[in-house]
Every structure is written in structure tokens, then in C-alpha cells.
A and B are shown apart, each in its own frame.
Chain A
């Protein structure tokens, strides 16, 4: 028995209408139905944080929600972060400049976790940064450069 639902979801300012199976994860909806493959899927059980998106402005793991639950809600993915195709968001600039990524697989999840964090806490301590990213795993950097990148991003965003 296939349980189908027609949903309307606004992603990065564009409203999409799709008919999906109830069991479709939000992460798969974003990637497979909308083709927004910037949202990465790592563990699919809520540990790695790679699939983090903003759901009504708050970071959530998109592998731990069903697409049908997003009906009528607003989502922002990493594709919605930069202001226009020629400019990066300060967070993205900072990750680039401070070598906050190597392979880049975890990066979209980090960026989407950090955007609301830095907006709410523009001048975080290192301890606060570490707690903020505790739900995102990175297997390349050892986190040190990510923390430097967050400090740099905070500085850029304060300006």
C-alpha cells in the first residue's frame, strides 16, 4: 500500500508542489525530488549532521523528518545561503579562507547549523562554538580549522 500525499513546501524562497510517499525522508525529498544535492546524506540516523537544513529558520536533521511533515513549512538549504550567484555568504567565505573544509562532504551541514547560531550569538566563545557544532561530524579537518573559520565568519558577519 502506497500512502501518497500532495505537499507544498517552500525551499530557498521557491514553493514546490509534489506528491510524495509518506515514508519519504525530507533529505531524500530535497535531493531526489527537488534536485538540490547540496544537502548531503551521511548516516541517515541522526548522528552525523551532514543533512542539516533550516526548518522554519531552525537547524534540523532532514534525515529525521518525513517530507510530508514539511507541508506548508519553509526550508533553507545550503543552496539558499549565498546572496547571489557571484557572491558567497560570509560563512562560506570564512570556511574557504580559513581552510574549514577538506573533502567538503560535511560542510553544508556545518554551514546550516552555524547560520542561525551566529545570527543569534554574533560573538561566541570557542566553547560555545564547539557546543554549537557538536552535532556535526567532520572526518577530515580535526575541527581546528572549522573553529577558526567560525571565528572568522563571526567577525565578517558583525561588520
Chain B
């Protein structure tokens, strides 16, 4: 099948225009996507030996591979999970202000079941979870949580989570408070 020379010439104009206009080059097949000025090949693509030879020639030292370092703030070490057996949610470590003994089995160190947002988890488990707004000073441990409020926690018998603007926050133990460690 002989390619029609006139069609080939007309279509070759297109790639030339796009190169001049510096537009995004489109992919495709056929002669129209060929670069307008074809030159001769200058070399073979590298194969493994020639690439290794180039590396050693430049003095590139072989690099030793080690396990990925995790020197930052890890996820698990700063998280606390609570779950009811089928769903669980993520909290910052230290966000649980008070945990009655009967719910202590619901404090988890790893998620169990489907992970859901805190708002949904609290809505579904309102019978044993309560949220408690704290102030930044209480978060820093400078101001303790008043005893009256602590007694209220015990009376209600629910698991209490510290929040600021409805988002969970960890609370540092203050000097006069004994921390409720999960």
C-alpha cells in the first residue's frame, strides 16, 4: 500500500506548528507524529553493562540499602483506638480523660473492624461515650480539670474524651491530677 505523498506532506505541517508554538505534544501513531527534522541515531540505548561502566567511571559509590528509617512521629505511637467490636475510631493518645472499668476492654491499641470518623462513632455509641470540651491551659497541664467535673465523670459512668471545638485532643497530666492512663 503506497502512502499518498501529498497527504504525508500536508500532515507533516502539523507537528512543525506545534513545536513552534511550544504546545503540549499529543501522542498518536503514524507519520504525522514523527518529529519534523529527523536526524541519524547517535548511539544505542544503554544496556546494563554500559550503565554500570558509566557509574564506576564517574566514581559513584555503590550505596548500601537499609530498612526505611522512621525517625519521625509515628502514627501508632501517638494514637489511641476505641472500638465496640464491629467499628473503631482513632484518637490522639492521652485524649481519654476517664474510663470506667466496665469499658476498659474497649480501649484498643490497634483498630478492630471498620474505622469510622469520631463523630459517627460517638453518635452510634452515645450510651457509653461522652465528649468533654477542655481549654488549652488544661491541655498543657497547667490547669487541672476541676474535681467536680471529675466526679461527674464517675457518676455518669461513660468513657470521656477531651475535645477542643469537637475535635479530639490529648491532655497532659497536670500536677494535681492523676492521669487516667488507658
Q: Do A and B come from one complex?
A: no
